[in-house]
Amino acid sequence: MKKGKTLDKNGMNVANILTFSRIFVIPLLLWLIFKGYIKIFLYLFVIAAVTDFLDGYFARKTGCISDFGRKLDPIADKTLIISMLFGLYFFCKTDSFSIFPIIVPIIVLIRDLFIVIGFIFFMKIEPKLQLNPTIIGKITTFFQFLLILCVFYTKGINKSFLIALTLIFTVVSGLDYFRIALMKRKKMLYDKTI
């Protein structure tokens, strides 16, 4: 697949607009959860999740792949997922019922902070270092989206298994990003010595 060229490095295009939409819709989604409009929330969240695929598709299709878009996309994903996990936990919690354990959004938050802080640290050491999305990272995002969609369904879904699977991929993907960063850093140091 050919790499798309950037037409306007920091400009707006269809792909970036779709990515931004995942951030802008967060307050509305939280309000829908708080008010108990769960069906509307689920429909709107599905649309937001689909934009995660569409923004990349349009970026490649129109040749508008940019550094700005690459950085914005994971920020939009992480902000949306973490906001929804904490929103569902606090707004859908009663004395006798909880959507899922508080450890779920906490681990997701810690993992994302770990990646962001680690990336900033490595960037200070090696400004040219780039970390691209990995297969494990994409699978993790898929399971996180799926968990949010499935929390209100009880038939035919083993939520405990889905929660465990999501947490496993969340932790493993975080460690995998760290491993890749270390490998790239070592390769860069090696290349400088030859």
- Can you give the residue ranges of every domain in the chain? 1-96, 100-194
**pLDDT for 5 beyond 70:** no
Q: Which residue has the higher pLDDT, 55 or 136?
A: 136
Tokens of 8: 């306007």
Output the pTM of the full model.
0.81
Quick: pLDDT tens for 114-151: 888 877 777 676 666 666 778 998 899 999 999 988 88
Question: Is pLDDT larger for residue 92 or for residue 74?
Answer: 74
pLDDT at position 140, please?
93
Q: Which long-range contacts (CB under 8 A, 24 or more apart) does 169-173 make?
A: 169/136, 169/139, 169/140, 169/143, 170/107, 170/108, 170/111, 170/140, 170/143, 170/144, 171/107, 171/111, 172/136, 172/140, 173/111, 173/134, 173/136, 173/137, 173/139, 173/140
Q: Is 186 a residue whose pLDDT tops 70?
A: yes
Q: Is the pLDDT at 96 greater than 60, yes or no? A: no
pLDDT in tens, 24-36: 999 999 999 888 8
CA distance 172 to 142: 14
Residue 37, classified by CB atoms within 10 Å of its CB into exposed (0-12), middle (13-18) or buried (19+), is: middle
Asked if 51 and 11 touch (Cβ cutoff 8 Å), the reply is no
Q: Considering the chain, what is the average pLDDT of its residues?
A: 81
